[in-house]
Chain A
């Protein structure tokens, strides 16, 4: 790889996201699912 290519790759890999979804949003995901549970039987019936 030439100098430009190496710099490009370094630049690219320097912009990495967090390895995990932030905890608050993980909780939010499950919370929104839990809130739907009471309706499931009615939804299934319709």
Chain B
């Protein structure tokens, strides 16, 4: 680690104190705090809009989500706004989502999972006494840890062994079920529940750490309990969150440059000194915060010769999280859309099967599950009266095995998803479709800059999270900081905002160290 992070140079040699690459939530959080603390800060964003994976796109009369469809852990977002001296509600408002989920299982039975843990317990008890009792134990294990710890951990450093010790000392873990640290997600979930329908409903949470139930870590099973603390949708669509953060940033004097792709990070003797834009312009700064995948930062934006072999090997050993495709539909009529999210579930086993048989072999998934999100259920302004916007998500590999391109199979895959819904769950949408577009992993990469379409940056297993992910303060380049889904704890809105807040703290800490250093004798 260098000693000064470049802070002792006179300001006049720089265009900005800080440059942020990417206006995703991590970048907006980092930029927002830096600008609020008085640093001249500019965010360069390749897309024509802010938000990255958390945003909205209009197609005709319908407004669709780009990626994320639900917000959990609102208090992290509140904490961000408070740290910039603001009240969240003046920048973005949230509508509660109720019920959390509707599930349609293999037998085509529908049931709704409510937010209230108590009512969920009653629902599960109606499946069997064992499942009701399982929920009681599950909730207890989650609550004793998670409720107190989760939101704290999102905004705390977890990069080194001493951070880990500090966290262990001051906050309880995500769950009091210690065996879930050792076992897989599947094994953990099966130790609480028996019913296939319940296992199928709760196992989708494994994909949020980028792995199927058989391979995800056991503690991640408790993520599905997190939703019971409340799940929300921003009023006006997902874009309302990043736009609110961007407004706060601009009020504090920050600049956002849209349509400005960064093509390289400038370095001098292992210290970053600015960025090169796609049009060849060079912009100088004291620090650079990258809110894009660490694999892209070290592998594409920095000069290869300056990234040591050990670091390239470490990066190569980290796998990307999964990619997916999303069929966006504008639908006429109300029937069939009982909840903001409907999970068409083939069961826990189906999630493993499509991972091993299809996804890992480079094939689009042949069934398994579909997650429908219908945000117009919560915010009717997203579609004309009597219409809905529907997103159907499923797992989809970025690289197709047979050499085909997503551009060529887009139509066929959209049809296949509709066929699956019809054949396995009896849901017929075709006659009611007024707009359809399949967004593929390739499209997510082109439009949201998402490296190889990896939804949550890097896979987030027991040995690939927190201190086993790239550090937010680069150990190789002075003045380089990382935020977003490939660092810290992984993907997800609150975690990425937390990563940006930590990155900003690190920048400020180094700045004040350097300043007190340079004013010394």
Contacts and interface: CB of A to CB of B under 8 A. Distances in A.
A17 B190 contact: yes
Q: Is the interface of A mostly helix, strand, loop or mixed?
A: helix
Contacts of A9: 126-128
Nearest to B218: A29
Contacts of A17: 190, 193-196, 199, 347-349
Interface in A1-46: 9, 11-13, 15-21, 25-26, 28-29, 32-33, 36-37, 39-40, 42-46
Nearest to B212: A25
Contacts of A44: 467-468
Contact of B195 (A16, A26, A40): A16
A46 B308 CA distance: 10
B463 A36 contact: yes
Given A12-B128, A12-B197, A43-B468, A28 B475 contact: no
A45 B107 CA distance: 49
Nearest to B462: A33
A9 B125 CA distance: 10
A20 B190 contact: yes
Contacts of A20: 187, 190
Contacts of A40: 463, 468
Nearest to A15: B196
B120 to A, nearest CB: 15
B214 A28 contact: yes
Interface string B416-439: 000000000000000000000000
B402 to A, nearest CB: 26
A13 B109 CA distance: 13
Contact of B190 (A12, A13, A18, A28): A18
Contacts of A29: 183-184, 187, 214-215
Interface string B309-329: 011011101100000000000
Interface residues of B, number: 41
Contacts, number: 96
B352 interface: yes
Interface string B62-103: 000000000000000000000000000000000000000000
Contacts of A15: 106-107, 195-197
Contacts of B310: 42, 45-46
Given A9-B126, A46-B470, A25 B464 contact: no
B452 interface: no
Contacts of B107: 11, 15
B368 interface: no
Interface in B190-208: 190, 193-197, 199
A21 B190 CA distance: 7
Contacts of B464: 36, 43
B317 A36 contact: yes
B462 A43 contact: no
Interface in B461-477: 461-464, 467-471, 475-476
Nearest to B315: A46
Nearest to B188: A21
A37 to B, nearest CB: 7
A19 B215 contact: no
A39 B196 contact: no
A45 B160 CA distance: 9
Contacts of A36: 317, 461, 463-464
A12 B193 CA distance: 13
Nearest to A42: B314
B463 A33 contact: yes
Interface in B271-315: 310-311, 313-315
Nearest to A30: B184
B252 interface: no
A36 B217 CA distance: 14
B413 interface: no
A43 to B, nearest CB: 4
Nearest to A38: B317
A29 B184 CA distance: 7
Chain A CB count within 10 A is highest, among B126, B190, B347, B463, for: B463
B510 interface: no
Contacts of B470: 46
B349 to A, nearest CB: 8
Given A15-B195, A17-B194, A32-B215, 20 more contacts: A12-B127, A12-B197, A17-B196, A20-B187, A21-B214, A28-B215, A29-B183, A29-B184, A33-B461, A36-B461, A37-B463, A40-B463, A42-B310, A43-B314, A43-B464, A43-B469, A44-B467, A45-B311, A46-B310, A46-B315
23 contacts: A9-B128, A12-B109, A13-B194, A13-B195, A16-B194, A16-B196, A17-B193, A17-B199, A17-B347, A17-B349, A21-B187, A28-B215, A29-B183, A32-B215, A32-B461, A36-B317, A36-B461, A36-B463, A39-B317, A42-B311, A43-B314, A46-B315, A46-B471
